[in-house]
Structure 1
């Protein structure tokens, strides 16, 4: 399977069951010509046997005879649309661990495990292919990245304010600060005790997709019931560039009455987050690029 992402948003998809490259964003479906999907389908189909071969090679290198194994490739380019600075990444993983990656400063491969050394030696010696890779990531990938950003600008650059609630099962349970329905993904949820950042007794969850293009995140604060009377606690949610009102009452299983002295607030701050995704990935601050077939 392949997944293309721009600014962390999936916009193309292919797998060996459907055997067809398809759009995952309406703006992408409308922006490109029909032949684009035929071309990308052919690229992904040609890549399938290469990945099957890669798995067999890796099994031999790791002295494996059976089991379920996974080869992952992640690559793409980065472009800062304010400074013009660009970058790239090109790496492989096997069974969820790093296997080999290209260092674009030296244009040589880095092998973090001994089983990848034969691949490093083979790929480092192919200077013509390295030049092709360098050309693609410094030119073609950036050009496609800028196209994708322009195609999806209204969606990629939109801001959807988070809805924030304070939740508690009972007076002895942790208080959960839950932010949901926000975009972009970058967000920071913290707790404060009498205005001072609090890091102990805090559990922050992952930022998860809602399925509608927005995201959600929760952070739990564990405090003894008697401490509520002596302290003032606040949940601070940093997202976008505006203050967002937060329900100051803690919703509970006992009818929504507040327990203790706690307030919620949303601070104005712009948070930029870098996202790593397994598979085929294209990015920017503005991040992305058109794909090309790869080899082992």
Structure 2
């Protein structure tokens, strides 16, 4: 072994035992390649040559694949040995993705959508129900074909916007509702002793609320009329639910109560059907 080979072996041993703790600069990498060539006893291509050859092979494959999204970016020069990319050098292109899931306060089925645009124009949409990519232009057909082949990516997009996004949104709604809730005042109203009794709630926020009558803690529907939720002048809301008390005897009143539920609030407001708390127009 010559003195030069021994020196190179010593460098190699130091490299293995003490690898660099930071990315190497280009001059350092060039010296490393030269040292490796001397250790192996064969000349090695420079990093720049490796970069150019791999870049050329990659560009050639893209230019030869009509289904590749960047196929029309590269054009072959007359020599047939070199490629040019005028678009990549002379302009800036913008690819945009927009995804959304919507859910109302009543916890109905969430609505989601995914859209993609290129340079300000619609490119692709994703049908959540069928998990299908729908091209919005002729140029997007080849991209759709590639996306259709990527089953895992399609499954991931469907999961994010049908499962993950609604769960996160639901948690945000709970936090927001907890911080922005106003409980109402609830009254029992009756025009005359023989009139239906109205359970009236006013001053609540947000609008997502329910109110119903129940007997022995079971919700009832017979003899019950539900009114609409109406806005107040102060941006709160009001609603009422009417019970026809002529359908049952006075001795059973104690079995009935009115229940008000506000979204985001765990405790219900329960008002028993009691003549002593009913507000009426009749003079005592």
Work out which structure has the larger RCO, using CA pairs closer than 8 Å and 6 or more positions apart in sequence: 1
Same fold judged by TM-score > 0.5?
no
TM-score (norm 1): 0.37
TM-score normalised according to structure 2 size: 0.38
Greater C-alpha Rg = 2
